[in-house]
Amino acid sequence: MMKKILFIASLTFLLNCKKEHKNDSGLQDNLYKVVLDYQKKNPIPSDEEIKKKTPFINPKDEKYIFELIFDKGEKDTLIHITLEPRGVKQVYNPYGVYSDINLKPTYIIDESKIGKNFIKEYKRKDLDKFTFKDFVINDAMYPEYIYKINGKELVLIDSIRGNVRK
Is the residue at 2 inside a domain? Answer: no
Give, rounded to a whole angstrom, the gap between the first and last alpha carbons of the chain.
Answer: 44
Taking residue 71's Cβ as centre, other Cβ atoms within 10 Å add up to: 17
Is the residue at 17 inside a domain? Answer: no
Is the residue at 8 inside a domain? Answer: no
Q: In terms of residue numbers, what domain contains 145?
A: 22-160
Contacts of 57 (CB under 8 A, 6+ apart): 50, 138
Is the residue at 139 inside a domain? Answer: yes
Instruction: Using the Cα atoms of residue 56, residue 42, residue 154 and residue 109 in order, give the sign of their dihedral.
Output: negative
Predicted TM-score (pTM) of the model is: 0.81
Q: Which of 17-26, 59-68, 104-113, 142-151 has the lowest mean pLDDT?
A: 17-26
Is the residue at 15 inside a domain? Answer: no
pLDDT greater than 60 at residue 55:
no
The model's confidence at residue 2, banded by pLDDT at 50, 70 and 90, is very low
Give whole-number Cα distances, 119 to 25, 54, 107, in Å. 9, 35, 11
pLDDT greater than 60 at residue 9:
no
Residue 54's pLDDT is 61
- Winning range, highest mean pLDDT, from 12-16, 45-49, 59-63: 45-49
Best CA proximity match to 27, nearest among 110, 82, 103? 103
Is the residue at 7 inside a domain? Answer: no
- Domains of the chain: total: 1
Is the residue at 112 inside a domain? Answer: yes
The string of pLDDT tens digits covering residues 83-103 is: 998 889 888 889 989 999 999
Is the residue at 155 inside a domain? Answer: yes
